[in-house]
Structure 1
Amino acid sequence: MGDESGADGLADLGSMLRSLRRQADLSQRELAGLSGVPQSTVARIESGQCTDPRFQTVHRLIRAAGGRLRLAGAGDPAAGDPAASCGCDDAGREVIQDDTRRDEAGRRYPAHLDVRKVRTLKDWSGAWWAYSYTLAPDRWPLRVPEVTYDLDRGRRDERRLRERIRDSVVIRRVTEGVPDGCWRLLAELPDGDVVGELRAHLRSLSLLYGEDWGNGREVVLDGVLVAPGLRLLGIGRRLVTRLAEETRLAGVPAVCATAEFGGIDFLRACGYQLDGSRPATHRLPRPWSARSG
């Protein structure tokens, strides 16, 4: 535990314990049941009111929450850093500490519920009265809380899994077996699993219209696919953004796509605009920097 026995050390210990509970998705009562430590003691430690917690008590709580306790000497780089010394779980994942969010009564939100900000109505499950998730905040008919969380354990686990996958996806261009003037982009996980794909091809405007367009060329977006369980994570938008970067480097002046129904909203979210000269066709305009991502 190092030399930290004052108020700052107790506050760091309480913050670390809340972070571990958040990772383990445990309430104070559940952690008390797993560790054999009374819930009142857990509450006092987390609030910094337990002036002298016993080492064995802290050890039992950390182990029950899925973490491990590390004792660091004065010369250890981790000494004095509670997150480094005992704020990691068995998988070595970094503990994220965020204890600043409180409700309107000034009470701290339950640490294991992953409190998140409400930026759109889609973030708040209680917005059953909204006809569209794209409704502007100044038109929301009812007062919406600043933050929210999921009470259902299954939904919390699913959200965390989706966020981990989103953060680990890598976009890669495939060139082997792909003809010149064509693009095949893959969204992959670290283990090689493909969760998204984009295909596009280059065409000549002179051949398309039967007129001399000089060096007129454009890239046609053939399609974007994302695994059904991983949609709405921004993977498709990352694929489209990567295509824009690739075509910019290739000196192609335009990228166009034809879409209907939900595909129209997707293209517009990626920065495409309706091309009035061709029905149902959208074009990604310049400058790229204003529309990327």
Structure 2
Amino acid sequence: MSDTTPHPSIPLAGVIGMPIAHSRSPKVHGFWLQRYGIAGHYIPIPVMPDHLAEVLRALPRMGFVGLNVTIPHKEAALTLADVVTDRAALIGAANTLIFRPDGKIHADNTDGYGFIANLRQHAPQWQPSAGAAAVIGAGGAARAVVASLLDSGVPELRITNRTKIRSEQIKSEFGARVVVYDWAQAGNMLEGATTVVNATAMGMDGKQPLRVPLDALSGDALVTDLVYTPLMTPFLVEAQARGCQVVDGLGMLLHQAAPGFERWFGKRPEVDEDTRQAALA
């Protein structure tokens, strides 16, 4: 081979956020790249908000085929994209970017897909239509959860947030099946709910605990937490003690990653126990 023969390009992808060192995404994607023998790299990239637009223009010229997007860039990334999927537009945030060969940035949101896929994998008997869902929190992740639960067929979706106006905004956008509860009445929201979700960062290592009384929680409910550090949050521990089936939040991270990996590297990865262990390593 002569020096003038072009070398095949190695696809690059990564995750952008600030901070980003804590992200488990590089472990997950690195594991999949190794598992499937794919020549590619996935790296964490710290990006300040003021630099986001500049970075998104530069990375495709450096061989990047796409990115995952995390806090605080999910909303801004959506506005900078050229092509936006319906679900990303509905949620109002992007967590997956594809840099297309024509130079356009394609934005998607796979958080809702990841949320539902995690429940289907770890609670296969779960029936969203069996009763009301209760969602604690109204941020970007909560919006993805709300959209996916309504799409899955929950008859009623109850939501509460410390800043009530954010819950009201979700109701105005997602419609009549959404019922807003005052933060002080969060415990009452759980009565009769068959699916209960903590979509806040409360209960995460280093954050304040989630102080929602679970007295009204039915032992028949499925309870899940988007937090995965720790895997078993105090919220899940108490729900399990009340007889509930609980699902931790790590699977949502793994499942939301799979569609992006497929788009960037050409292989749909399997989310299994080995993948979980790679994320936890």
TM-score by length of 2: 0.21
Larger radius of gyration: 1
TM-score by length of 1: 0.21
